[in-house]
Structure 1
Amino acid sequence: MGITVMIVVFLVTLTPLNDWLTFPLITSETPQNADIIIVLGSGLARDGSLNKNGKERVIQASWFLQSGFAHTLLMSGGLVKKTLFYESEQMANYAVELGMPFESVTIEKMSTSTEENARYAKIIMQENGWQSALLVTSRFHSRRACGVFRKHTIAVSCVAADPSLVPRISPVDRLNEFRSIIREYGATVYYWIQGYI
């Protein structure tokens, strides 16, 4: 058991294994102008701050907003029980820290899964008369997220956030990324069985 763990740690931290495993999970399209930019939550650190996945998503989405792809950011993510913070509120705060206008940020704080992200985002879009969205999430999450939103008949162009925006250099970062990737494979199978994608 110990040798197996050491081999996995070596492969994850010192080889491009994470990139190889991520490749089949990626959907990243040419960004299109849209009514809104939807940013999906990715959990929070124990102190309630955004994790690296969350930061890269907000940075990427903020760049799209500044570049004129849309005029509104919709932050989607509910309460993280271990922290008592809402993902969407923390993402909104970070976007404002990055210089995004407060009035350009809308939050959706009911969802606790990718399927719920899509369900509640669709309701908000219908209430505001928004027809199209630019969907921003992490590379490893992009294929499943895009599939879920399209299953909900939401007109989205799907863009994977650039991981170089928040580099993962340390072995701990690489191991955390590996854990997220493996979890995503399981979540993809589960969503397929449930008919969510």
Structure 2
Amino acid sequence: MNLIAWMIIACEIAFWIVIILGLATRYMFKKQKLSFFILALTPVVDFFLLIVTSVDLYRGATATYAHAIAAVYIGISIAFGKSMIQWADERFQYYVMKSGEKPRRRYGKEYAKHYFKSWIQHLVAYAIGAALLAAMMHIVPNGKTNVLQNVVEFWTVIVGIDFLLSLSNFVWPKKEKESGYTNS
């Protein structure tokens, strides 16, 4: 595994460590301002990964899937970061601190709207990631960027499929599962 792949793994771990530290600081130590500061460090992790990836390519490395995944990761982290922190915050409050409301599941039209909102976030992540991939293709000498182009094309298809899934939730809404056992 190359350096960039290891950096992606390290940055993902660092992202969740920062979130957990921020939430622990907020709820266990009651330090709101410090918690906000710690949680605000999550984009720093992304920025670090962007710099390492860019420097590696600028120094002449052939673009790999790891470089492409770094751009995808950064796009997703920026677009979904706030909602991921909110998701973790709700669960931390309920499951760790034993306070707050139990995270609830969504069904029907509410689920469809929520999924569509997440598709819009996916589209934003795609725009950011594709822009970073385009920038990388510009940095790397010709002939060494086929992998990056392949990832943009594949991700374009994925965004399209996700859009169709998003629309399908309005046509065939997700229903709440019945509890209990049934005799079949």
Question: Structure 1 length as normaliser, TM-score?
Answer: 0.26
Could you say which structure has the higher strand fraction? 1
Could you say which structure has the higher helix fraction? 2
